Structure 1
């Protein structure tokens, strides 16, 4: 493992710089203690990094779970109750790994998964607006709502009065730095990849807070800063961890959240694995079942000590690969660097304005739901953009599970509709003596979903016609379809319709029964 330390150590430093603001920012977006994001980053690096079979993947708290965490903490009543769900999710993931369910990601349509991530990106973006404006927690819309009146003007006046100009300014500066750094400077020189844009934004944010005098119009108040516990001793450090409340383990809502975490975290991990394996210059393949086991172990430990759910994360993994790492040692070292930062520089972390983290998450949300993605899905046609759009709308206007469920249903209906359309090909060739010649070619697989389409086509064929039914390419034909064809063969005699069945071994004119030929020609093969 230490053979490539000269390459893995520099990469780990870059990943640490990327991970630090993301750990804090995702915890902020999740409505969880900021320290919980750092815990998840530490465990994702050290524990999951050690157990994982991926040489390039990096794990930690994921933006894709922020919306779930935010809603779950509120619905379950406390962060301690939520931690029990994280542990349950981890146990389920280990079970999935042992059951060799690493292929589960392949059974979710890409359009639905992309819609899920885009919907989450939109919500993350929206949720950061109060932090970007420096609004205090006491500006609640509900206070301006009565039974017969909503005081919009008073609410917006209070809102404007509570906006912090300093926070707005540092948010805009941070956003500008991050965008300019990645889109311009990093492309000009590799030097700018050593220290990523978000870290530069954090440094500028800290300097802004320290240098702007208190009482100034641009001063940033304490409630707009990161609040990480500062340990005075080893016992204080241990005391700042939050532990799960196992008394709620029989609560069905806790189990529902746990199952949700397991499913979404596993999907996000498997998607990241697929993407990072493609980025790996050596094209190594990550064992997905082992990855689920590693992620499950990480989530159990994270839940036990007060951390957010863990997944493999594409942003950190991409930074790892682009920094030239060789082995998973870089991911492990980045976890130790996060641990050292929590112990050594917590005072410095508490000087970071929340507006800086909001800027980082604005970029994360934009990347998950960028306009080019919507254009691409629309360009791919209805079969892609309908499940995608329904998933996005469902997540944004209801919740994640309902959104994904609606997306899956729409995807299934799209498949059924396409199957309905593509069951056969009908072509009118012209005349055959006094009769119109019609050719019907059945697809390779024809199921009961195609009954309606085939029945309609056969019914619309005029009397005194010649119908050729071609099953040479058909490999699977439902019994329901055979019954329809048999019924049609019987009725065709009364309508003076001649039928010619074309199969792999020849032709049959006016068959008495399609079933016997299906058994003889297709089933025997």
Structure 2
């Protein structure tokens, strides 16, 4: 595929992803207790290196918020960041091996409702976390800050002004101007919002009531010369391979969690893709492994494919991996060439971009759509949303999967058969049971319930003509039932493609001792 075929869409999208990725790279590094520059390294490698290798056309990789707790704990436990980098390199090698062994197929077994729930939950989290930044508050909206008077004391009116202007620009640009003229599609609204935000800071945001604090601006390390730029890189201490067993445990943990987050993001991103392309998941693990190994070698954080940046890419019109690669190149160029300018961007502008993205992901219409699909889809969906918002990503995914499996089991329990009551020449208690295509141990309870309720003197037809898979557990129970049937004067007729048998002595002998499969 020609990399530059869709450049008119990919270039604007790359700018949006860049402005989303920049604060996230710095924020993840800060939350992980790692050097700020390490987050930028991971973002650059995730964009350029993984972007080139990966076969995902719209997925974006970089440092992941879901790994912050693991990274923070690992750096403390291992004793130094240099030793932690050894674990990152090893985790990357493990991911490459997992990809070669085709472990990426795990990604295909996540229910659609759970993936959609994850997207909505991430949208809610993104939206909520931007509110303090959009208001100029010093931190998260904790419980002790919920009093109205306390909140108003923390609000910065200069930040609120920039937020309102930025949101207006983004909304008008996307919903009105872009629909009227092609020019407004080529020039991304977030870029205009950033330019206006810098102008507002330079004109009215430095003094008076509208003044912004340094903490309310982007903070990128500023190298004085080439040597100071190189000094921002940290290199792994490979002697830890012989002296520190914890490195291997940390590496395995990072490899497993980073791979799961990547596979979830791949599944979610593919669902967002307007062209509905499918990413080879095992190959994606190889690409991520190469990225993590390289990131660890030069001082970067572990990375995964990340849904926030990937969804920003899709929502901004990105079509091919060009937008991913360009966003990585922009991160690199910005750190080298324009860090001073970047440090004049109000964080409120970036928060405004994320507010829009968060709302699009968690649009209330999505909840209504899932409700209309029925309980089987809505229950796993809403459990995933709530669990991720209340706890974290992995807990939410596990909770959604468990509920999804329970719903599946309940559905299988009720859909194993159909019992019909027939009358023939005035004869009553004539029952006909049609068995489903697949009858497994899961269905045993519902079948037992039906057959145990048959009155004495009944006539039962068991119709297996549609059945293609029949578990040994079911055959074993049916043999037990024949004894009970004989004691209760219940006549049984077995109907199958193999023939018809009246009062069979043994179902296991008729179908075979193992699981019965039609045609075997």
Q: Quote the residue 2:314 is aligned against.
A: 318
Q: Quickly say closer, same or farther: Cα 1:401–1:415, change in 2 above 3 A.
A: same
Residue ranges of structure 2 left out of the alignment (5+ in a row): none
Q: Quickly say closer, same or farther: Cα 1:185–1:91, change in 2 above 3 A.
A: farther
Q: 1:19 is matched with which residue: 7, 17, 20?
A: 17
> Once the 2 structures are TM-superposed, how far is the Cα of residue 89 of structure 1 from its aligned partner?
4.5
Contact 2:12 2:187 in 1 (8 A): yes
- For 1:111-190, what aligned pairs fall within 5 Å after superposition? 111-136=113-138, 157-190=149-182
Contact 1:40 1:310 in 2 (8 A): no
Q: Quote the residue 2:495 is aligned against.
A: 502
Q: Quickly say closer, same or farther: Cα 1:264–1:179, change in 2 above 3 A.
A: same
C-alpha separation between the residues in 1 aligned to 2:126 and 2:67?
12
C-alpha separation between the residues in 2 aligned to 1:291 and 1:198?
29
> Once the 2 structures are TM-superposed, how far is the Cα of residue 274 of structure 1 from its aligned partner?
6.2
Q: Quote the residue 2:431 is aligned against.
A: 438
> Once the 2 structures are TM-superposed, how far is the Cα of residue 49 of structure 1 from its aligned partner?
2.5
> Once the 2 structures are TM-superposed, how far is the Cα of residue 426 of structure 1 from its aligned partner?
0.6
**77-86 or 407-416: which moved more?**
77-86
Q: Quickly say closer, same or farther: Cα 1:293–1:174, change in 2 above 3 A.
A: same
C-alpha separation between the residues in 2 aligned to 1:116 and 1:324?
22
Q: 2:382 is matched with which residue: 369, 378, 389?
A: 389
TM-score (norm 1): 0.85
Q: 2:403 is matched with which residue: 388, 396, 410?
A: 410
**7-16 or 123-132: which moved more?**
7-16
Q: Quickly say closer, same or farther: Cα 1:29–1:388, change in 2 above 3 A.
A: farther
> Once the 2 structures are TM-superposed, how far is the Cα of residue 457 of structure 1 from its aligned partner?
0.3
Contact 1:244 1:306 in 2 (8 A): no
Q: 2:189 is matched with which residue: 184, 187, 197?
A: 197
Q: Quickly say closer, same or farther: Cα 1:430–1:183, change in 2 above 3 A.
A: farther
Q: 1:260 is matched with which residue: 249, 254, 257?
A: 257
Deviation string, structure 1 residues 450-507 (Cα, Å, up to 9, x no partner): 1211111001111122111101111221222112212222222232222111111332
Contact 2:91 2:251 in 1 (8 A): no
Contact 2:288 2:303 in 1 (8 A): no
Contact 2:383 2:396 in 1 (8 A): yes
Q: 2:246 is matched with which residue: 238, 246, 250?
A: 250
Deviation string, structure 1 residues 385-411 (Cα, Å, up to 9, x no partner): 111111222122222222211111111
Contact 2:41 2:301 in 1 (8 A): yes
Q: Quote the residue 1:48 is aligned against.
A: 50
> Once the 2 structures are TM-superposed, how far is the Cα of residue 416 of structure 1 from its aligned partner?
0.9
Q: Quote the residue 1:369 is aligned against.
A: 362
**1:516 aligned counterpart, secondary structure:** helix
Q: Quickly say closer, same or farther: Cα 1:213–1:501, change in 2 above 3 A.
A: closer
Q: 1:219 is matched with which residue: 211, 214, 234?
A: 211
C-alpha separation between the residues in 1 aligned to 2:94 and 2:339?
34
Q: Quickly say closer, same or farther: Cα 1:507–1:303, change in 2 above 3 A.
A: same
Deviation string, structure 1 residues 91-132 (Cα, Å, up to 9, x no partner): 343222211233322111111222223222222222222212
C-alpha separation between the residues in 2 aligned to 1:488 and 1:181?
71
Residue ranges of structure 1 left out of the alignment (5+ in a row): 145-151
C-alpha separation between the residues in 1 aligned to 2:395 and 2:295?
27
C-alpha separation between the residues in 1 aligned to 2:271 and 2:123?
20
Contact 1:45 1:59 in 2 (8 A): yes
Q: Quickly say closer, same or farther: Cα 1:4–1:221, change in 2 above 3 A.
A: closer
C-alpha separation between the residues in 1 aligned to 2:420 and 2:275?
47
Q: Quote the residue 2:481 is aligned against.
A: 488
Contact 1:272 1:314 in 2 (8 A): yes
Q: Quote the residue 2:300 is aligned against.
A: 306
TM-score (norm 2): 0.86
Contact 1:424 1:440 in 2 (8 A): yes
Q: Quote the residue 1:465 is aligned against.
A: 458
> Once the 2 structures are TM-superposed, how far is the Cα of residue 522 of structure 1 from its aligned partner?
5.4
Task: Tell whether 2:275 aligns with 1:279.
Answer: yes
C-alpha separation between the residues in 2 aligned to 1:203 and 1:29?
22
Q: Quote the residue 1:149 is aligned against.
A: none
Task: Tell whether 2:226 aligns with 1:234.
Answer: yes
C-alpha separation between the residues in 2 aligned to 1:424 and 1:353?
63
C-alpha separation between the residues in 1 aligned to 2:378 and 2:387?
14
Between the two proteins, the alignment pairs up a number of residues equal to 502
Q: CA RMSD in A?
A: 3.2
Q: Quote the residue 1:147 is aligned against.
A: none
> Once the 2 structures are TM-superposed, how far is the Cα of residue 189 of structure 1 from its aligned partner?
2.0
**1:102 aligned counterpart, secondary structure:** helix
Contact 1:29 1:127 in 2 (8 A): no
**1:437 aligned counterpart, secondary structure:** strand
